[in-house]
């Protein structure tokens, strides 16, 4: 199963639209995870239309979109705990890892968060954390980034995708 992982689209406040190559990856994925900051109901609707399955959370620019602050989904035997990671950059990784620990069930688990617009794939306090950066290259990002994960039987491999704005 292929999972497209994106965040921080910020359409339309910082960027006009999601790039075509990102749209293509969202359309081709078996499931899409969006870690918040859609920025508008129109951006959420675009991702919903492109995704065959969607797990999404609210970011700090998503007031009124009706999304949860934390969501979990199990795909290919891996539990994904998704949150935006809102707050200070100081302590970001520890704060997100704590949220994942609080929400995770037994078995293989990975945390997904956004907010910083910086790609992250590291283990913090025993929790693997993924941040796909910004799927539109919205400032302060300088490039468009996203992740794809291949999941099967509890195994997870992650690939980074990056292009200039």
Domains of the chain are 2-164 (3.60.21.10)
| The pLDDT value given to residue 24 | 98
Residue 162 has pLDDT above 90, yes or no: yes
| The pLDDT value given to residue 136 | 97
Residue 56 has pLDDT above 90, yes or no: yes
Count CB atoms within 10 A of the CB of residue 45: 12
Residue-wise pLDDT for 100-125, tens only, equals 999 999 999 999 999 999 999 999 99
Q: pTM for this one?
A: 0.97
Residue-wise pLDDT for 14-53, tens only, equals 999 999 999 999 999 999 999 999 999 999 999 999 999 9
Return mean pLDDT, the chain: 97
Residue 79 has pLDDT above 90, yes or no: yes
| Encoded tokens for 132 | 């796909």
Higher per-residue confidence, 89 vs 82: 82
Total residues belonging to the chain: 165
Confidence of residue 165 (pLDDT cuts 50, 70, 90): confident
Residue-wise pLDDT for 131-143, tens only, equals 999 999 999 999 9
Mean per-residue pLDDT, 143-157: 97
| The pLDDT value given to residue 125 | 92
Sign of CA dihedral 61, 93, 118, 1: negative
């Amino acid at each position: 199963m292929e999972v497209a992982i994106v965040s921080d689209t910020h359409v339309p406040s910082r960027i006009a639209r999601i790039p075509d190559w990102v749209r293509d990856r969202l359309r081709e994925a078996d499931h899409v995870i969006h870690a918040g900051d859609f920025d508008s109901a129109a951006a959420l609707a675009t991702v919903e239309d492109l995704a065959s399955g969607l797990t999404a959370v609210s970011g700090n620019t998503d007031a009124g979109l009706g999304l949860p602050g934390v969501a979990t989904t199990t795909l290919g035997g891996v539990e994904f705990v998704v949150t935006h990671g809102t707050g200070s950059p100081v302590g970001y990784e520890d704060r997100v890892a704590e949220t994942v620990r609080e929400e995770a069930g037994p078995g293989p688990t990975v945390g997904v968060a956004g907010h910083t617009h910086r790609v992250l794939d590291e283990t913090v306090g025993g929790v693997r954390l993924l941040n796909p950066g910004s799927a539109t290259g919205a400032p302060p990002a300088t490039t468009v980034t996203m992740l794809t994960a291949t999941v099967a039987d509890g195994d997870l491999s992650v690939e980074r995708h990056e292009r200039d704005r």
